[in-house]
């Protein structure tokens, strides 16, 4: 298949590009390198030494003989180029990762909030619009998030659609399937709930074939392909804005830092290993929706854990000390999470679950690159609730 990957230089996009190229697909990636620029803005970098994109691509060609084409393009701001590229390549599938994906970054300041909304919604809108304008019948596979559900509010989370009973216009009780009511917990998560409505509309109005993968927190760093050569190594974010919780704990343990649990650690989240992320995307591409089918929504996760349980697991494995810190986020101090995730299992996913050997592998990677860590960037400083300038001045 011809596959276009938007955001193909990122943490999920890069290993996905390698996986799909390794399977023999004709892969082109697009990225504006904004993630690398945000690292520069924040004065931090991936713990692993990621190579420049051209070095990555040449290494892949050298090691495997496969070629991945790449275009530097801003999907949110260069609509005409995007449309022309989709028309020229006529891809069978487009995988869309090209969004600002950090919740803490999206809550950092007004500029980051506005950037996240503008970038994410424009990127999604532009891809959909370009598909309509060109008439290219590509299957759009989008990386969404479990966070659109607000972690369930005590309900079992279905794969996207909720069956409700309502009265019809004649007062007769009838069943309807609706999108699970969105309940975002950050500006970033809010953009993903809005993406869902764009998908709903373009699918209904224009028949665009879409799979939205509601993914949990990704852990791990390497996949089968990124392990092939040091120049192919994947990102490892550890800082307070982009580092995700389990990878942060493993890296903190590797450098002798306390494990930074927010609040009591009662928050339950869904998790998936990066190797399963790339497999799931391959499976979703292979099982494209038929013309006329509504938006497919799969919950892309393999297990749920409480943050405090993860910290205890890492502490047991490594001897690290756990620090319970004031939570900078506005989120439930504790929640249960029960998720339906049959669709990807039915397509053949064999889940990679948290196992000591995989956790140890990540600690080993973190130890190898420990000298690249800036400890001052570990604390999560982005506050969900802050005092406004008006409140500050009236308190004086």
Residues that bind ligand USQ (CB under 6 A): 101-103, 145-147, 216-217, 244-245, 248, 260-262, 267, 269-270, 307, 327, 329, 331, 380
Q: How far is the CB of 331 from ligand USQ (least distance, A)?
A: 5
Tracing tokens 């994109």 back to the chain, one arrives at 53
- From the list 31-39, 60-68, 163-171, 343-351, the region that binds ligand NAD by CB under 6 A is 31-39
Burial of 393 (0-12, 13-18, 19+ CB in 10 A): exposed
- Binding range to ligand NAD, per CB under 6 A, among 11-19, 52-60, 335-343, 376-384: 11-19
Residue 98 makes contact with ligand NAD by CB under 6 A: yes
Q: Which does 279 bind (CB under 5 to 8 A by kind): ligand USQ, ligand NAD, none?
A: none
CB of 255 to ligand NAD, least distance (A): 21
Q: Which of 21, 28, 34, 193 binds ligand NAD (CB under 6 A)?
A: 34
Please report whether residue 302 would count as binding ligand NAD according to CB under 6 A.
no
Site size for ligand NAD, by CB under 6 A?
Answer: 28
Which residue, 35 or 262, has its beta carbon nearer to ligand NAD? 35
Write out the catalytic residue numbers: 145, 188, 192
- Compute how many other C-beta atoms are within 10 angstroms of the C-beta atom of residue 313: 17
Contact 154, 268 (CB under 8 A): no
Question: What six digits make up the tokens of 111?
Answer: 């500029």
- Binning the chain into helix, strand and coil, the percentages to the nearest 5 are 45, 20, 35
- Note whether 76 binds ligand NAD by CB under 6 A: yes
Q: Supply φ then ψ for residue 110, to 5 degrees.
A: -60, -35
Applying CB under 6 A, does 39 fall inside the site for ligand NAD? no
CA dihedral sign of residues 243, 244, 245, 251: negative
Identify residues 175-194 at the interface with ligand NAD (CB under 6 A). Answer: none
Close Cβ partners of 111 (under 8 Å, ≥ 6 residues apart): none
Min. distance of Cβ 180 from ligand NAD in angstroms?
Answer: 16
From first CA to last CA, the distance across the chain in angstroms is 63
Binding of ligand NAD by 11 (CB under 6 A): yes
Of the candidate residues 4, 7, 259, 260, the single one contacting ligand NAD (CB under 6 A) = 7
Closest CA to 373 of 105, 45, 41: 45
Q: What is the DSSP string of 107-165?
A: TS-HHHHHHHHHHHHHHHHHHHHHHHHH---PEEEEEEEGGGGGGGGGSEE-SSEEEEE
Give the CA angle between residues 291, 292, 298 to the nearest 5°.
85
Site for ligand NAD in 232-271 (CB under 6 A): 235, 244
User: Among residues 94, 123, 141, 157, which is the contact residue for ligand NAD, using CB under 6 A?
Assistant: 123
C-alpha–C-alpha distance, residues 366 and 375, integer Å: 13
User: Per CB under 6 A, does 143 bind ligand NAD?
Assistant: yes
Choose from ligand USQ, ligand NAD, none: what does 99 bind? Cβ within 5-8 Å by kind: ligand NAD
Q: Among residues 4, 5, 10, 284, which is the contact residue for ligand NAD, using CB under 6 A?
A: 10
Give the residues lining the site for ligand NAD (CB under 6 A).
Answer: 7, 9-13, 30-35, 74-76, 97-99, 101, 119, 123, 143, 145, 215, 217-218, 235, 244
């Amino acid at each position: 298949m011809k596959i276009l990957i938007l955001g193909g230089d990122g943490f999920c996009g890069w290993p996905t590009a390698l996986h799909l190229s390794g399977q023999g697909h004709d892969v082109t990636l697009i990225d504006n390198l904004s993630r690398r620029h945000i690292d520069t803005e924040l004065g931090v970098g991936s713990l692993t030494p990621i190579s420049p994109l051209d070095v990555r691509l040449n290494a892949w060609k050298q090691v495997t003989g496969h070629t991945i084409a790449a275009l530097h393009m801003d999907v949110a701001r260069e609509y005409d180029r995007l449309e022309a590229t989709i028309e020229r390549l006529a891809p069978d599938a487009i995988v869309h990762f090209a969004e600002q994906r950090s919740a803490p970054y999206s809550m950092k300041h007004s500029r980051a909030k506005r950037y996240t909304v503008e970038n994410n919604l424009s990127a999604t809108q532009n891809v959909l619009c370009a598909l309509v304008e060109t008439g290219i019948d590509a299957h759009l596979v989008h990386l969404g998030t479990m966070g659109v559900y607000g972690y369930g509010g005590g309900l079992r989370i279905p794969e996207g659609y909720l069956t409700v009973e309502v009265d019809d216009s004649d007062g007769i009780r009838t069943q309807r399937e609706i999108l699970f009511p969105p309940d975002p917990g950050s500006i970033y998560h809010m953009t993903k709930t809005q993406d869902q409505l764009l998908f709903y509309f373009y699918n209904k109005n224009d028949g665009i074939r879409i799979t939205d993968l509601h993914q949990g927190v990704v852990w791990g760093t390497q996949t089968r392909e990124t392990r092939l050569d040091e120049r192919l190594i994947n990102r490892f974010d550890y800082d307070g804005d982009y580092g995700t919780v389990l990878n942060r704990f493993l890296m903190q343990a590797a450098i002798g830092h306390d494990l930074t649990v927010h609040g009591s650690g009662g928050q339950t989240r869904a998790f998936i290993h990066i190797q399963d992320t790339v497999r799931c995307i391959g499976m979703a591409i292979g099982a494209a929706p038929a013309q006329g089918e509504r938006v497919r929504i799969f919950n892309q996760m393999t297990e749920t854990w409480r943050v405090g349980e993860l910290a205890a697991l890492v502490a047991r494995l490594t001897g690290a000390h756990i620090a319970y810190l004031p939570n900078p986020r506005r989120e439930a101090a504790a929640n249960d999470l029960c998720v339906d995730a049959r669709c990807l299992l039915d397509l053949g996913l064999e889940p990679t679950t948290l196992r000591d050997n995989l956790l140890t592998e990540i600690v080993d990677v973190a130890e190898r690159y420990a000298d690249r860590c800036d400890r001052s960037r570990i604390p999560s400083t982005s506050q969900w609730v802050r005092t406004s300038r008006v409140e500050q001045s009236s308190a004086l």
